[in-house]
Structure formats: structure tokens, C-alpha cells
A and B are shown apart, each in its own frame.
Chain A
């Protein structure tokens, strides 16, 4: 049991490329921390630095009160689950799990107890004699988990462990990993690019972008109050609608609210916060949209619309959407027809406002 603390951790490669640009956060004892971000944001590198597989250029990594910057991976008391599982192909499932314990000269009877216990928890009991080649993807994943839990380490590290599984299995394993972690109460750091995995697994969510932390916090807080437009469009699917507004538009929209300021900014509205209605809401926003496309996924429907009255002087959306496009998410399968004109309204409390560069949230 241990906490993990990162203090101003940096990584610069020999060529001068700065992969990690000063990261601070703390994972409390028994907490599940998820590092999430687009590919190339440095999340895997950071995890490998915690594991000891990558060197640290500057800063400190502290595991359980001990600075481990110079400590070999084997001596950090961590276990890691790799994306490709990294099972030893020539060893049976049993030996895969026992290998780390044998290297530490644990007596055979105790190894056997631990491996059998892990096999029971992970339902691998009947597969102990098989080679990894004879297992399915999900079973291999469980063996990799087993190899980590038999060690009873201070910290589990997961490097995108579910990305090689098919969608259905991924959801099942996600739930299993969370249950297992709750049960073992082992501090965990989990890397993923999947925001849904991040939201569902994390006690603490660390959103990363190009070597920096964008926001740290409880997943729901991050969802409800994204600190930057990057976080706003990365967390949540489909992404938040972002619309740049000129200073006069801001003043008109947020009349009487001094916190909104009098400078240009970016307005954000989540697709699920819209309601299709002919009534406008006082203080809220109303957008006249022409329906361009409809996606029905059963329980809900996504409407892709373009704004009819283009807000003057707006060049482009800062988010992932094409300029002028707005996504509206409504429950059920009843949707307007393509080409139809609709009015999407959202109440005042569901509006997000960011500074014009998208780096700062303006709390209303």
C-alpha cells in the first residue's frame, strides 16, 4: 500500500524533444488514477517513467515515501500490465505468474498458494498448464493481470491494457479491473486514450495534452467543469460544441453578469444539454439549426445541424467540429427530418465559457 507522488517530472530526449514538460500530481493510497489524452501526449512515457523503464530528466517520483528516480524497475515494488500483455510465450500460465515470485526466491509452497489464489479470482483455474498461444485475448489479459496481482505490489501500472480487445470484451474487462482494484485496494495508475474508460475507472483523472497536464480531478468534476477547451472537447462523446464569440456577443449573451467579462471568448455547450423546443429559455441560448445528418443509436439520437444565422465574424470552431456545425443529442429515436429547421435551446447553467485562447475557464 502506498501513495505515488510526482513532483515537476520532466523528460527530454537526446534529440532535444521534450516529451514531458513538468508534471505534478499525487495518487493517494488505494486510489485509481487514470492518465488520459490523445496519442503522443506523453501519458505512456510518464507511466514508463513511474515503472522505471524510462529515465527521468528532472523532478522526483516518489512511491510510498521513497524517491525512486534511480531505483531499478524490479526494486520499485510495482507491477505492470502491458498493452500487448507481454506474456512469456514459452512458459505455461502458471509459470508466467510464478516467474516474478521465483526471481524473488519465494518458497515454492507460497508461490503455489498465491498463483492458485490469483487463478481462482481471475477464473484461470483450468488454464494453468496452457501456453499463452492457446488462450483467447481476454484470457491472456487476465493472465497479465494475474502476473501483476500475485506479486502483491504497492502499485499497479496499466498501459492501455484493453485496447487490443474487441468492444464487448473491453467493457467486461473494464468492469472486472475496477472490481478487482476495489477489492485489492492497490494504488493504480492506468493509461488510456479512451475517455469512456477514463471516466468509468478513475478516482482521479489526469487529462494530458502534449506533455502537460490539462486538468486533474474527479472525473465528474472534470466533465462538469472542464478547465480548458481541450478538456471540454476530449472528455465526453460526442464532444462539447465550442463556438467563438466576439466581445459584443458575450456581453449580449451574458448581460448583467460581470464575471463573463467584456472580451471575446469561446462558448461551450454539451450536445446532451440541448433541448429541441420552440420556446426560448430566459438567460439561456437558442440556436436555429438546419438538420444536416441524423445518427440513431437506439436509446438516443445525434442530430448534426448547421447554424442558420451565422454569428458574425466567426472564423472557425476551435473544437473538433467543422465551422458552424452543432451536435445535439436527444433521447429516444424520434428525430426531425434532414433539412428541417429546428431550434435547439440550452439553459444558462449548462453554458461553459472559456477565454479566447481556450486555456482558461471562466466560471459563471
Chain B
């Protein structure tokens, strides 16, 4: 039975105890978010001294831009690739680490390190490794006959940011998958083996379904990650280029607002982004979560 505290003496005490969390949530989440919404209905002059209310004009201008649809498509490609790759590779690594290996603890520790690297630093690392003229791996790639140049070729640039974003996210996904795998009772898998299921069949009919709550959680977290947290990587690796090939929606918010000085338009974009992520998460919870409960 759940225990609940009873406050008889003071009606204010419960609120006082809740206040620190509520204040933090309000100051760091709701206030900025409401400012962004407010900003999206205004237009500022070039010096940021005067702003006027313009209604939906920022949104109209935004949806009239072909570049905006392009950034949506880029985001779709980028997020699908990053989420799919980082989840599946992490799952593969986790299943391997779950085996009874002698060096498993060392392996697990090394697997987690990339997560400790700041996104911008990770981006710089990948930028240098694959830099067309400086990169350690760019020469062998050319040697294999590939005209590798992420600075000019949009697909190469996309590959590079996807790789760096995946590399960083694998560590996180790996941790959760490993914990998920370890919580599956060994006897259930042994029962599967006695029931005549080979290793692959055991994986797909027993282990994978039992991991589905973990997978679902990671899917939600990864979507949010690719939508927002990959900004640092993109900024450091490609700066959204070449020719906007890696400009995702969140990067465009930054590019238009910070570099382009269009605060209203940028705010409108961030509101759109916010709505998309809220909607995606809601959809996932409504339709996917129901199926992963057992």
C-alpha cells in the first residue's frame, strides 16, 4: 500500500516543500518556452530595440520558404538514420557484452566512454578524422577510389554527421540495452533453448519482445536527442553545409536566429519544432507503449 504524508498543521507546508522543484521547472522550462512562443508573434528591428506584434506573419513567411521544407526532410533522414543505427548497433553490442566473456567489464567500460565526450568535441574529432585534406581516414577512402569530400558533397557530409551522432548515442543506448538484457531471467532463455529455439529464434521471439519496454524508452529518448542535442555535432562538423545539406530543423533555428538575425522567424521555427516533438512523443506513448506492455 502506498503511504501518503498528512499535513495537519499547515496548508502552506506542502507547497513550500514542492516550491524548489516547481521554481526550477518554471524558470528553466516554462518561462523560456513561453518567451519563444511570444517571440514568434513579433518582429524586431535590426538592433533589437523595438519589437512589434505581427500575428502569424512569421509563420506565414516560414512556411513559404522552400528551405524550411528541405530542412524538415533533412531532419527526417537524419533522425531516422541516427535512431535506427544507434539503436540497432547498441543492441548488437549489448547482446555481445551480455555473453560470459572474460574481458566483459573492460569492454563495457570502454563502450560507455563516448557518452562522456561533449557533442562539440565529438564533432571536432570526426571532422578531423574525415577532413578531406587533413583526415587520417580520408586518404584511405580516396585510396579505395571514393572521392571523399564532406565539405563539398552533401551526402558525404550527411554520412559524417550521422556517424558522429550515432557514435555518441550508442554508448547511452548500450547501457540501457545491457541492463535490459541482464534483467531477463536466464532460465527463460534456457527454457527457450530446451523448447527447441535456436539462438536467432530465441533472440527474436523471446529476448527482443522482452526488451521492448527498453527499446521504446530509448526510441523516445533518441528522437529527442536527434532533434535537439545533435546541434553541437552538426555545428562542429559541417556547420549545416554544404549548401544546407545537413541543416536540420534545430540547426536552422540557430542559423536563422543567431546568424541571420531573424529572431521572430527563429522563434516560430522553435515553436514548430516543439509541437513536432510533443506530437511525436504523444503518438509514441499512445500507440507504441500499449504494445510493449506484457
Per-residue CB contact flags for chain B residues 272-294 toward chain A (1 = under 8 Å, else 0) read: 00000000000000000000001
- The answer to whether A78 touches B194, judged by C-beta atoms less than 8 angstroms apart, is yes
* Residues 35 to 58 of chain A near chain B (Cβ within 8 Å): 51-53
Chain B: interface residue total (CB-CB under 8 A): 19
Least CB distance from A116 to B in Å reads: 19
- The answer to whether B193 touches A86, judged by C-beta atoms less than 8 angstroms apart, is no
- The answer to whether B294 touches A74, judged by C-beta atoms less than 8 angstroms apart, is no
Q: Does A254 contact B (CB under 8 A)?
A: no
Q: Does A131 contact B (CB under 8 A)?
A: yes
Interface centre among A90, A100, A151 (most CB of B within 10 A): A90
Which residues on the B side are within 8 Å of A238 (C-beta)? none
Which residues on the A side are within 8 Å of B201 (C-beta)? 103
Q: Does A84 contact B (CB under 8 A)?
A: yes
Which residues on the B side are within 8 Å of A99 (C-beta)? 192, 195, 197, 205
From B194, B206, B212, contact of A88 by CB (8 A): B206
The prevalent SS among residues of B at the interface is helix
Per-residue CB contact flags for chain B residues 184-195 toward chain A (1 = under 8 Å, else 0) read: 010110111111
Least CB distance from A254 to B in Å reads: 51
Q: How distant is the Cα of A144 from the Cα of B110 in the complex, in angstroms?
A: 40
- The answer to whether A74 touches B206, judged by C-beta atoms less than 8 angstroms apart, is no
Q: Does A231 contact B (CB under 8 A)?
A: no
Per-residue CB contact flags for chain A residues 51-89 toward chain B (1 = under 8 Å, else 0) read: 111000000000000000000111000111011101111
- The answer to whether A79 touches B210, judged by C-beta atoms less than 8 angstroms apart, is no
A84-B185, A131-B294 known; A90 vs B209 contact (CB < 8 Å): yes
Q: How distant is the Cα of A51 from the Cα of B194 in the complex, in angstroms?
A: 8
Q: How distant is the Cα of A100 from the Cα of B198 in the complex, in angstroms?
A: 11
- The answer to whether A90 touches B294, judged by C-beta atoms less than 8 angstroms apart, is yes
B191 (CB) vs chain A CBs: closest residue: A86
13 A-B pairs (CB sep. < 8 Å): A53-B193, A74-B195, A74-B198, A79-B194, A87-B188, A88-B206, A89-B294, A90-B210, A103-B195, A103-B196, A103-B197, A103-B201, A104-B196
Least CB distance from A107 to B in Å reads: 15
From A51, A89, A147, contact of B210 by CB (8 A): A89
Chain B residues close to A by CB (< 8 Å): 185, 187-188, 190-198, 201, 205-206, 209-210, 212, 294
* Residues 210 to 238 of chain A near chain B (Cβ within 8 Å): none
Q: Does A7 contact B (CB under 8 A)?
A: no
Q: A73-B194, A88-B206, A99-B192 are in contact. List 19 more A-B contacts (CB 8 A).
A: A53-B190, A53-B194, A72-B193, A73-B193, A74-B196, A74-B197, A74-B198, A79-B194, A80-B194, A82-B190, A82-B191, A86-B187, A86-B188, A88-B191, A90-B212, A103-B195, A103-B196, A103-B197, A104-B196
B184 (CB) vs chain A CBs: closest residue: A89
Which residues on the A side are within 8 Å of B210 (C-beta)? 89-90
Q: Does A182 contact B (CB under 8 A)?
A: no
A89-B210, A90-B209 known; A82 vs B187 contact (CB < 8 Å): yes
Which residues on the B side are within 8 Å of A151 (C-beta)? 195
Q: Does A359 contact B (CB under 8 A)?
A: no
Q: How distant is the Cα of A17 from the Cα of B187 in the complex, in angstroms?
A: 23
B292 (CB) vs chain A CBs: closest residue: A90
Q: How distant is the Cα of A73 from the Cα of B190 in the complex, in angstroms?
A: 9
Q: How distant is the Cα of A83 from the Cα of B191 in the complex, in angstroms?
A: 11
Q: How distant is the Cα of A164 from the Cα of B250 in the complex, in angstroms?
A: 54
B198 (CB) vs chain A CBs: closest residue: A74
Q: How distant is the Cα of A43 from the Cα of B194 in the complex, in angstroms?
A: 19
Least CB distance from B243 to A in Å reads: 48
A133 (CB) vs chain B CBs: closest residue: B294
Interface centre among B187, B195, B201, B210 (most CB of A within 10 A): B195
Q: How distant is the Cα of A80 from the Cα of B187 in the complex, in angstroms?
A: 10
Which residues on the A side are within 8 Å of B212 (C-beta)? 90
Q: How distant is the Cα of A188 from the Cα of B193 in the complex, in angstroms?
A: 19
From B185, B205, B294, contact of A86 by CB (8 A): B185
Q: How distant is the Cα of A338 from the Cα of B13 in the complex, in angstroms?
A: 60
B206 (CB) vs chain A CBs: closest residue: A88
B197 (CB) vs chain A CBs: closest residue: A103
Q: How distant is the Cα of A73 from the Cα of B194 in the complex, in angstroms?
A: 5
Q: How distant is the Cα of A104 from the Cα of B213 in the complex, in angstroms?
A: 29
Which residues on the B side are within 8 Å of A82 (C-beta)? 187, 190-191
